[in-house]
Structure formats: C-alpha cells, structure tokens
Amino acid sequence: FRGPIHHRGCTDVLCCVIFVIVILGYIVLGTVAWMHGDPRKVVYPTDSYGQFCGQQGTPNANKAILFYFNILQCANPTVLINLQCPTTQLCVSKCPDRFATYIDMQYNYRRNKSYWEYYKQFCKPGFNNPDKPVSHVLRDEDCPSMIVPSRPFLQRCFPDFITRNGTLTVANQTSFKDGHGKIRSVVDLRDAANILIGVADLWFMGVFSGLVISMLVSLIFILLPRFTAGVLFWMVIFGVIAAVGYGIWHCYWEYSSLKGKPDSDITIPDIGFQTDFRVYLQLSQTWLIFMISLAVIEAIIILVLIFLRNRVRIAIALLKEGSKAIGCIMSTLFYPIITFLLLAICIAYWAVTAVFLASSGDAVYKVMSTLPNCKYTNLTCDPESNVTKLCPGSQCTFAFYGGESLYHRYIFVLQLCNLLVFLWLVNFTIALGQCTLAGAFASYYWALRKPADIPPCPLASSFGRALRYHTGSLAFGALILSIVQFIRIILEYLDHKLKGAHNAFTRFLLCCLKCCFWCLEHFIKFMNRNAYIMISIYGKNFCGSARDAFFLLMRNVMRVAVLDKVTDFLLFLGKLLISGSVGVLAFFFFTRQIPVIQQEVPSLNYYWVPLLTVIFGSYMIAHGFFNVYAMCVDTLFLCFLLDLEKNDGSVSRPYYMGSSLRAILNKKNHKRPEEKKIGRQQKK
C-alpha cells in the first residue's frame, strides 16, 4: 500500500443524482422567490403605510428619505425585538435643518405663514390644518411634536451630531425642547440614533480590523510550529494559564474593592435583566461569579497537564509532524479561503431567497406601542383604524408582507425547504474541504521518502478526486448531518413557542429530545470526519468508509480517547488565546483606552455588542485556519493507526511514519543491505 488509491470509481451515484436535482430545484425556488418578491422591499426604506420612499410612479417619487416623527422613541428596547421604531415614519424630500416644535410653530404661524409652510412637509400627507388644537394633533400624530437638524444616512434622517471640544452638540446646541414641555439633552438623541444605525462606521472600523488581525495571527500561528512546535505549544499552554491567573486576580481585586461599598449587598436577582451590562459590573456578586468560573477552568487545565503530561508530549510530537506536512504542502494553508468563499455564496443565496420569500405579498400592519399595558400590541391592524384612540401611544405600523394565495400559504414550507437545502449545501462544502485536505495529507504520510516521494500538486489532485468520484458520498454524509441539524432547529423553535406552557412532561420530553439530538449531531460530525479521511485514502463509498473508520478507531480506543482529544485540547487553547488577545485589544479600542487613536474613536454606550462580535468572529476565523491543522492531525493519526496494522518495519513492509513518531513509539525500520553498506561507509 503506497498511499491514496488513484484508480477508483464513482461512489454513491444515486445520492449524487439526487443532490444535483435538489440544487436545480433550489435554483428554481430562488427564481420563484425573486419573481414574487419585490427587491424594493429590501433596498428602499418603507414608511408607516407600506409605501416605498423615492420610487418612480408613486406619491413618494420625489421623497427618497425616511423621517421619524419622534426619534426619541427609537431608544426603546422594543426596537431591537420588533425591528421597528414605534413612531410614525414618513417619506420626505429633505431632512429638517433647524430645531422647532409644533407649539412654537403654531404660535409663530399667526404672524408669519412661512413657519407652517416649512413645518407641514414633515406632517402626514393631506394634513393642512394648523389651527387644530395641539393636543389633538399630537394625539392623532398628524405632525411631529418636534423636528431637529438632521442629515440623511442610509436614506434615513438622523440628527446631525458634531463634537466640539469634547462636547456633543446638534446645531451648536447641547439641549432642545421635545415639544411636550420638557428640555432634553442631545445625548438622548444619540442613544436613539445609535440603536437605529448600530454605529455602522465604528463597527466597520473596529470589527473589521479585529477580524483581520485574528486572521493574520492565526496564519502566523500555523506557520510557526514548523520551526518551533514544542516551544510554541508549551508557550500557548503557559500563556493561557497565566492569562486565566491574571483574570482570577483581577476579579478578586474588583470583588474586594466593591465589597466595602454601601450597596455591596445588592445581588443580580435584585436588579433583574438590564440592557446596559455595565450595571452588572458594579456588583460584587458578578466579579465573584467570574472569579469562581476562572478558578475552575484554571484547575481543570492544571490537572490535565499533571496527569496527562506524557500524552501531551506525544500530542505535541504529532502536531509537529502535522506542521511538517503543512510545510511541505503550503497550498493547504490557503484552502480555507476557498471554503470561506463557497460558504459565503451559500449563505448569501440562502439569505436573499429567505428575504424575497418573506417580502412576497401585500403589506401587513401591526400595532406598535411604547406602553407595556396595550392589549393590541403586535396584533394585525388597519392603517385607517382608531387604534391610537383605543390605546394611546400606539401606532398601526407596517410590519411585513404576506398574502392569502396558494403561493403565500406555502411560504412557510418553502422557507423550511430553503433552510434544509442551505444546511445540506453548507455541510457538503465543509465535507468537500475535509476530504480534499485529508487526501493531500495522506499523500504526505504515505510517501516513504519525505518530501521526495510526495506526488506533484497533492491538494489539486485530491480536490479533483473528491469532486469527480465522491460527490455522492460527500453529499450522503452531509445530508445525514443536515437532517439532524434541521430537526434540532425545529426543536429549538418549538421550545421557544412552548416557553409559556405549564405542562412539565412536555418540557421534559422536549429537553430530552434536544439533548439526544445534540449528542447525535456531534457523533455524526465525528464519524463523518473520519469517514471522509478513509474515502480520500481508499476510495470506498460512504457507508463502507464509515464502517472501516469506526472499527479502526474502536481497535485503538485508548489512543483515540487520550491522544486525539489532548491534541484537540491544545488546538482549542490556541484558538482561545487568539480570540482572547484580539478581544482584549478590541476592548481597549471600543472603550477609547488606546492613546494613539483615542480622539478618532467615538464614545459608545453599548460597546458589548461590537466587542462580542469581534471575539466571536475572531474565534471563528481562528477555528477556520486551525481546522486545517486539525484535519492534518486527524489524517496523520488515522494513517498512523493503519501504518501500525499494515506494516512491521521490515524491508518488505517498512513504517511510513516520520522519524519523530517512530522514536516516540520505539519503532524502527530495518535497512536494506545496500543501505547498511552505505551507512558503514559514511561512518568510516
């Protein structure tokens, strides 16, 4: 046996045919969604009456900007839940350029008609009664209670904020009248605007920079072990121990400093759920929980290193062998980029199809209210209804598009089909990448003289074999995993819908099902990964490869349980170190604690959301690059087990493993007579 078999036939042809038919059907589904959906519903803003701003042939043809009657109401937490600001929204031709209130306008209107001519362009279409009592106008929301100087951003009017000498202003003012007899600070306007626009410019600058840094660090981290594998991984281990130790000390310091304060007896249940997470950081109980959690993690890491230190040494040697393989096949480092691109195409197509399916049909309106006791909240309504009189402070606002036709009645089913095929395509893309990398690294392992006997272009050859012969097998494994994931998503949906149910047996049954399918999903992922490795080596079908991989692992269950998992643990520490380091850097960036760029970074009230986005994105990027390493180690591990079973180190059946692995296992290859003669001559 000399490595991956080159002469092989197609496997699981029936599943391949079904997979191709499903892809063609998915294209048809996307086309139908595009035909029935309206792209304007995605691109252009929509007012409270379901009309598009700036569309030719409509009353809003010359009104391309969306105006909010009372942008202060957009600071309400319901905006994040309903994705709608609970205030009237109109299409206007331009944004306001001055501070004004309806009360002041009505007072000045009697002296100068121009006040009303300017103000009425921000009122409901058709309203032209400036003498109507102010209380009735504000009750019926015929006109906004106030207007503030604004500028268009993302085709919406947002206050024109300017920071002067460290002070936030709008039109050189730090306060304004809200039209209800109160003086408000422009900081309130900023809070509302931040929720609506998500501080897009800061997110792009901070989040994008953090993700790029994590990508570069991950790439360097994979390249370095080729030269200093042992030192690097021991540095990672002790670096994580030191970082967690520092976290324990910092949490203890915060806990001690807050414990002596007068309000130190306040607990997390006392304050309940808060959207501003800084409130929790003012509690000593929060830091105590952090400290205990970090102490448990530190103890687990130290115990693993103490009792499995020999296995850790073997795992590091296996990682070093993987570094040599990656060094010989450098193209494998850039394969995650191809996987990212394919996944991006799948995600984009799924998202566009889902949006166009959701945007099919006529406008549906729902009641949006800022008051918690309105019984009509989130119910369907008619824009001409008197819901504002029945429930003061509420609005009948456009929510989404729907309909009663046969197509619209099955939109939910089409969305489920869209989700299932999306999961299948994503898992197939991942499977193709795993099989391709496994074939390339298997070519490295089964080369007797490394790197001289490695075939040319091993990654391209492996990709061609996987796509030409084993598309059906990869699609078969991906379909099994996708069905399990699909069932898990449905269970999560049912759990969300049944949260208010009081049937204890139903909740217990649902919890058991979720737990079982979670275990089943992870087991299938593990078996699929090893089955793809066997497919890349022997070229058998999916079921045969999965069976061979399973029995091979069961014959070496102790090595799998210890050596393979310790290797995964070391790689996890590397991902944790990268995402944690980038997260700390992002924290100092978003909290304006980096002196060099402190002035260029605007102040954030809710920096936890972009910070968690950076940390999660950094972990996912590191996970993508480290998957190359993990796939390399898993492939070498299975090849190593096959090597031990097939060969004995004799001249006719030499070991193909590297010299470092042979030294660890105390295995030797017997030399041929001519090799012994050359060795004696070299000694002389």
Query: Per residue in 431-440, pLDDT tens?
Result: 999 999 999 9
User: Cα 179 to the chain's mean position, in Å?
Assistant: 42
Check residue 578 and give its pLDDT: 79
Confidence of residue 627 (pLDDT cuts 50, 70, 90): confident
H or E element in which residue 233 lies: helix 225-259
> What b/e readout covers 441-466, taking b as 16+ CB neighbours within 10 angstroms?
bbbbbbbeebeeebeeebbebbbebb
**Does pLDDT of 4 surpass 50?**
yes
Confidence of residue 35 (pLDDT cuts 50, 70, 90): confident
CA-angle at 116, arms to 113 and 117, nearest 5°: 85
Asked whether 2 and 446 are in contact (CB, 8 A), the reply is yes
Check residue 413 and give its pLDDT: 84
β-bridge partners, 395: 368
H or E element in which residue 518 lies: helix 504-538
Q: What residue type is assigned to position 621 of the chain? A: I
Which stretch of 81-90, 172-181, 326-335, 442-451 has the lowest confidence by average pLDDT? 81-90
The mean pLDDT value of the chain amounts to 76
**Does pLDDT of 421 surpass 90?**
yes
Mean pLDDT of 345-364: 78
**Does pLDDT of 604 surpass 90?**
no
* Rg of the chain taking only CA atoms, in angstroms: 32
- Helix extents (H) in 1-129: 13-36, 40-43, 78-82, 102-109, 114-119
Percentage of the chain beyond pLDDT 70 is: 71
**Does pLDDT of 78 surpass 50?**
no
Confidence of residue 319 (pLDDT cuts 50, 70, 90): confident
Collapsed DSSP state (helix, strand, coil) of residue 60:
coil
pLDDT tens-digit series, residues 567-587? 777 777 777 777 777 777 777
Which among 130, 75, 122, 129 has a CA at the least distance from the CA of 97?
A: 122
Check residue 654 and give its pLDDT: 81
Dihedral in degrees, nearest 10, Cα atoms 442, 443, 446, 449 = -140
**Does pLDDT of 80 surpass 50?**
no
**Does pLDDT of 481 surpass 90?**
yes
Confidence of residue 119 (pLDDT cuts 50, 70, 90): confident
Mean pLDDT of 171-182: 72
**Does pLDDT of 385 surpass 70?**
no
**Does pLDDT of 57 surpass 70?**
no
pLDDT tens-digit series, residues 86-117? 677 888 888 888 888 878 787 777 777 788 88
More confident residue, 323 or 224: 323
Check residue 672 and give its pLDDT: 56
Question: In angstroms, rounded to a whole number, what is the distance separating the alpha carbons of residues 644 and 654?
Answer: 10
Mean pLDDT of 611-630: 76
Mean pLDDT of 287-315: 80
Collapsed DSSP state (helix, strand, coil) of residue 395:
strand
**Does pLDDT of 150 surpass 90?**
no
Task: Establish whether the linkage from the previous residue to 59 is cis, with ω within 30° of 0.
Answer: no
